[in-house]
Amino acid sequence: MRDVHGLDACSLDAASFDAASFDTARLDPHRLGASLYVPAIHPKLASVFAGDAYPDVRSLIACTEDAIAQHQLDLALAQLKEVLPTLPTRDRGPLRFIRPRNVEVLRELLGLVGIDRIHGFVLPKIDHSTFGGYLAALGERDFAIMPTLETAAAFEPDAMRALRKMLLLPAHKARCLALRVGGNDLLALLGIRRALNTSIYQTPIGALIPQLVMCFRPHGFQLTGPVFDGLESMDTLRAEALQDRHMGLIGKTAIHPSQTSVIESVFRVSECELAAANALLSSEAPVIKFDGSMLERTVHSEWARNRIVSGTLWNCREFRVARLL
């Protein structure tokens, strides 16, 4: 495999990509929910990726990177080559993404028949020094991206600001559905493995996540929560997902189907939240009282709009909104 680094995203010609015509730019990140990772060598990849095996899962990520060994890469690509043409079109089934191992693998994937049946790519180990190579490979192809923050640069505020500057170019921002936080890779850089029943927020990454939120969220980028690798610690998973939500994250990576319902239950918008959002946006008053709390139109309107959009996408009961836009 050739070196994938060294291209500066800011040097790419943003005008060569028409953000206005980018179909997947209309995807809403709130649709992601619990994103289930599946190794691309999984024997039931076809039924999983089509949404048949786990019909309640709303987004899936077929992984050709850390989830498989180097010697399994050819098998993974061969299986994807076979599966992709059998998938439903983008307007049917769950959101589907592939995590390429590197830029060269991304180029191989882009040449496969049926690749247009996935919605985009989860880009691994993205920072200001690696982002450009993936953008160059994608060119003008109509795919969303979810860059994963999981290199040492994530600990450096200046490096994250440099990446943000690249992402803010209209052509690049139009592609970016969300940023994913690579918790295990970041812990590995610190030489740490989480103990059983330990939340990510009880580790140094718990201090990093709010920094990443404050770097990217005010500029219009959504972030998703890191993987929780305790397969039997559902109470800890639920507590961690709740903390993710308090941090402003909009979904979470799942590594086993048993985790998805727990994550979805935490991120689902409650009817009380929807009622509060509806009440605020329907009122002419600058301040209202709702369920014992004060809601201010100037500071809570964006929250209210997000709750209603998210609630609709999470199949919550519909509420009539007088002035949503």
Secondary structure (H, E, C), 85-109: HHCCCCCCCCEEEEECCCHHHHHHH
Question: 141 and 168, same structural domain?
Answer: yes
Q: Would you say residue 73 lies in a domain?
A: yes
CATH number at residue 145: 3.20.20.60
Question: 243 and 278, same structural domain?
Answer: no
* Dihedral of alpha carbons 64, 167, 185, 134, sign: positive
Question: 135 and 220, same structural domain?
Answer: yes
| Residue 111 pLDDT | 97
Number of domains in the chain: 2
Question: 198 and 163, same structural domain?
Answer: yes
The tokens of 125 are what?
């180990």
**Using the 8-state DSSP alphabet, how is residue 286 labeled?**
S
Q: Would you say residue 319 lies in a domain?
A: no
Question: 249 and 125, same structural domain?
Answer: yes
Full-model pTM: 0.86
Q: Would you say residue 103 lies in a domain?
A: yes
Judge contact between 67 and 61, C-beta under 8 A.
no
Q: How far is CA 308 from CA 6, 235, 294, in A?
A: 42, 28, 18
Judge contact between 254 and 240, C-beta under 8 A.
no
Question: 63 and 208, same structural domain?
Answer: yes
- Among candidate residues 267, 284, 302, the one where a domain is terminated: 267
| Residue 297 pLDDT | 86
Q: Mean pLDDT per segment of 10 residues, for the chain of length 325 residues?
A: 33 38 63 95 96 94 95 97 97 95 98 97 97 96 97 98 97 95 97 93 97 97 96 95 96 96 91 85 86 87 83 52 32
Question: 158 and 72, same structural domain?
Answer: yes
| Residue 293 pLDDT | 86
Task: Give the domain range for residue 287.
Answer: 271-313
Q: Would you say residue 63 lies in a domain?
A: yes
Q: How many C-beta atoms lie closer than 10 Å to residue 89's C-beta? A: 8
Question: 165 and 72, same structural domain?
Answer: yes
| Residue 314 pLDDT | 64
101's CB contacts (< 8 A; 6+ apart) are 1, 64, 65, 73, 124
Alpha carbon distance, N-terminus to C-terminus of the chain: 48
The residue assigned the tokens 């600001």 is 161
- Among candidate residues 251, 267, 283, the one where a domain is terminated: 267
Cα–Cα dist 205/219, whole Å = 22
61, 49, 152: which is closest to 100 by C-alpha? 61
321's CB contacts (< 8 A; 6+ apart) are 277, 278, 281, 282, 308
| Residue 11 pLDDT | 37
| Residue 282 pLDDT | 86
Coil vs helix vs strand at 61: strand
Judge contact between 260 and 57, C-beta under 8 A.
yes
Question: 183 and 147, same structural domain?
Answer: yes
Question: 195 and 63, same structural domain?
Answer: yes
Question: 166 and 101, same structural domain?
Answer: yes
Q: Would you say residue 318 lies in a domain?
A: no
Question: 288 and 192, same structural domain?
Answer: no
Cα–Cα dist 223/154, whole Å = 13
The residue assigned the tokens 């994530």 is 154
**Using the 8-state DSSP alphabet, how is residue 225 labeled?**
B
Q: Would you say residue 324 lies in a domain?
A: no
The residue assigned the tokens 């949503």 is 324
Q: Would you say residue 166 lies in a domain?
A: yes
110's CB contacts (< 8 A; 6+ apart) are 137, 138, 141
Neighbour-count burial of 212, counting CB atoms closer than 10 A to its CB (0-12 exposed, 13-18 middle, 19+ buried): buried
- The neighbouring-strand residues paired with 62 are 38, 98
Q: Would you say residue 180 lies in a domain?
A: yes
| Residue 75 pLDDT | 97
